Amino acid sequence: MLKKYCYFLCLISFTNINVDAQHKLLICFKNIAGNQPLQKDSMYKNEFGELFTVHVFKYYISNIVLQSENKTEQFSDEYFLIDDADSSSKKIELNTNLNHITSLKFLLGIDSVKNVSGVQTGSLDPAKGMFWVWNTGYVMAKLEGKSASANTPQHAFSYHVGGYKQNENTSREISFKFLSGVDCSNKNCTITISADVLKWFNAINEIRISETPFCHEPGSLATKLADNYAQMFNIVKVE
Amino acid sequence: MRSFQIILIISLFIGTCVGWISAEEKTSAIHPLQFVVPKGWPQPVYDFKQNPLTQEGFQLGRKLFYDGKLSKDGNFPCASCHQQFAAFATYDHNLSHGFNNSFTKRNAPPLFNLAWQKEFMWDGGINHLDLQPLAPMTDTNEMAENIDNVIAKLKADTTYRRMFKAAFGDNNINTQRLTKALSQFIVMMVSATSKYDRVMRGEDTFNLPQRLGYDIFKRKCASCHSEPLFTDFSYRNGGLTADDFLNDCGRMKITHNINDSLKFKVPTLRNAEVTFPYGHDGRFYSLLDVMNHYRQGIINSNTTDSLLKKGISLSNFEIGQLKAFIYTLTDSAFLNDSRFAPPGFENRTQRPPLQHLHASVQGLQSAAH
């Protein structure tokens, strides 16, 4: 027991020495619809001319990897639920030792391991409403709203996109390279990433609200939506 | 550097003290519970390392299992559909009752030997035992509650706060702890003390019809209902048609594969005497109905199991003997095990309601004829 504590404390103490070299990296998500900021109940138009509003927009970000020229940092056990209705959820704060970040990678969604490991806590708690209990697995991303084009009760459309098994996987790896690098050596820096809901309807696949207003299970519609939302991110600002 | 050394020594000292104290607390507060694998059985698939069994966790799970608080109106604890005298299935019901005069869509499976099961529900849609309770808890035609409300009700209850602390070390109550406690209770439900088990261990012998029935079972049933769990956990179409109201396509709902249409998990035969009616929607009232289906009721479709395409030939004599064997799988010690009774009812034998008992006596009589 004592021995274990010695090692543990030594480890902690030594990391403490390095505290000065560590700095904070802030990744901010800014949800948009085309060139407008996303706002609840504002009207937007997709490429097929379908007008719609958005009430719910949520997605998981996980498995973040930062790289510099010769080092890699993985944040493998951290899972973030970005909820458009909760502004504090849109800022991810990471402690990094890298001075010069050349690339950023993350998973939009939850890896298959966490999909088969029982009940989790924190942002992965099934009570967060991002989990299917009858065909178990995480909902990687959710977009809900209303549109006159939706032939449904209350003209509601809702895309709950999930599925982790082979051929049904809806998590997507997103990566950005910074050609000139992000200099974090003497300051805390912020990378702002936009997420464009218009891409859900038309990026790789055409998804019309009039044709498919609902997605509530894993399968081909879910993977098509996933291929689309994989295209929704863009780096807006690095400072 | 010197000040660093001093800090290190001080923090080492504090750390050791804290470690010492927390170790003391742990050993004094939590009583480990042992899961015994019956002799000759395979290793369980449930990962006990992720959820170490304790007396405290088990008792908490037991209280939760019998508590209506987990349902919207308080009337539907887990135990309302999973009754001990029915081997934790719903006694004498094809479908079970749920919130607001609703019925479930499928026959409630019995609960035992779940530590050996990888996937749950008739269609295998749930991939972990800990996740299983969330489905009935939130389904509108079952317990109809949402997780946040359940957690809030438990947090407001001083007894639960005390019991969660005893089981997990602190007052925190969350979905994970709720479901882990429930798993600790239900995973301990092991049915391995039937007459069949005693015979296999050499402590008892079959009578003639039972022995003949066992031979028939091994020739005609065991390829799907394999020993010792009496299921191979595969999904098969037993020659059924879909009910035109329920329209349940089974495993296909999960895999989206048309070759899985009308396939359902092979149910265990253990305790079958008390788990009637049978089939995923409870369409077979008695064992005789099931066997009649296998010998003359098979519907051949693209997904009908190859072993059943021609039906199973069974004479009336063989059916009688098979039933005699299946009744040896009734585990009365498990059905009356006071550890699984509602808290406070340890010394009172649970029985089905009277009118149901009558039905069961009739069932047994007709079986004898």
d(CA A88, CA B32): 41
Cα–Cα distance list, B358 to A49, B29, B355 (Å): 67, 47, 5
Residue whose structure tokens are 């020495």: A17
Cα–Cα distance list, B215 to A199, B139, B195 (Å): 63, 42, 16
- Return the pLDDT at A227: 98
Percent of chain B whose pLDDT exceeds 70: 86
Q: Which domains, from first to last, does chain B contain?
A: 52-187 (1.10.760.10), 195-335 (1.10.760.10)
How far away is chain A from the Cα of B135, in angstroms, using its nearest Cα? 5
- Return the pLDDT at A75: 95
d(CA A123, CA A86): 13
Residue whose structure tokens are 């019956």: B38
d(CA B317, CA B311): 17
| Residues of chain B contacting A, Cβ within 8 Å | 4, 7-8, 11-12, 15-16, 19-20, 23, 50-51, 121, 125-131, 134-135, 138-139, 146-148, 151, 174-176, 179-180, 253-254, 256
Q: At residue A175, what are phi and psi to the nearest 5 degrees?
A: -140, 145
| Res A21 pLDDT > 80 | no
pLDDT band at residue B358 under the 50/70/90 scheme: very low
pLDDT band at residue B27 under the 50/70/90 scheme: very low
Contact A134 B135 (CB under 8 A): yes
Per DSSP, the three-state class of A113 is helix
- Return the pLDDT at A8: 53
A58's tokens: 């949520």
Spatial CA neighbour of B123 closest among B286, B281, B239, B230: B281
Residue A145 contacts by C-beta under 8 Å, 6 or more apart in sequence?
A52, A53, A54, A55, A56, A156, A157, A158
Q: At residue A53, what are phi and psi to the nearest 5 degrees?
A: -115, 160
Neighbours of B35 (CB within 10 A): 14
- Return the pLDDT at B357: 46
Q: At residue B265, what are phi and psi to the nearest 5 degrees?
A: -65, 140
pLDDT, mean of residues A36-63: 96
Neighbours of A16 (CB within 10 A): 13
Contact B8 A9 (CB under 8 A): yes
pLDDT digits (tens, 9 = 90+) for A126-184: 999 999 999 999 999 999 999 999 999 999 999 999 999 999 999 999 999 998 888 88
More confidently predicted of B355 and A138: A138
Bond preceding residue B277 cis, omega within 30 of 0: yes
- Return the pLDDT at A7: 55
Output helix, strand, coil percentages for chain A, rounded to the nearest 5.
20, 45, 35
ipTM greater than 0.90, yes or no?
Answer: no
Are residues B81 and B136 in contact, defined by beta-carbon separation less than 8 angstroms?
yes
The whole-angstrom distance between residue A125's C-alpha and the CA centroid of its chain comes to: 16
Domain boundaries, chain A: 22-238
- Return the pLDDT at B13: 55
Quote the mean pLDDT of chain B.
90
- Return the pLDDT at B340: 96
pLDDT digits (tens, 9 = 90+) for B193-248: 999 999 999 999 999 999 999 999 999 999 999 999 999 999 999 999 999 999 99
pLDDT, mean of residues B176-205: 98
| Res A61 pLDDT > 90 | yes
Q: Which residue in B has a C-alpha nearest to residue A120's C-alpha?
A: B176
Are residues B126 and B119 in contact, defined by beta-carbon separation less than 8 angstroms?
yes
| Res B296 pLDDT > 50 | yes
- Return the pLDDT at A17: 44
Q: At residue A143, what are phi and psi to the nearest 5 degrees?
A: -135, 120
- For residue A28, list its beta bridge partners: A91, A192
Q: C-alpha angle B356/B357/B359, rounded to 5°?
A: 65
Which of B46, B175, B253 is best to mutate for the A interface (most A CBs within 10 A)? Answer: B175
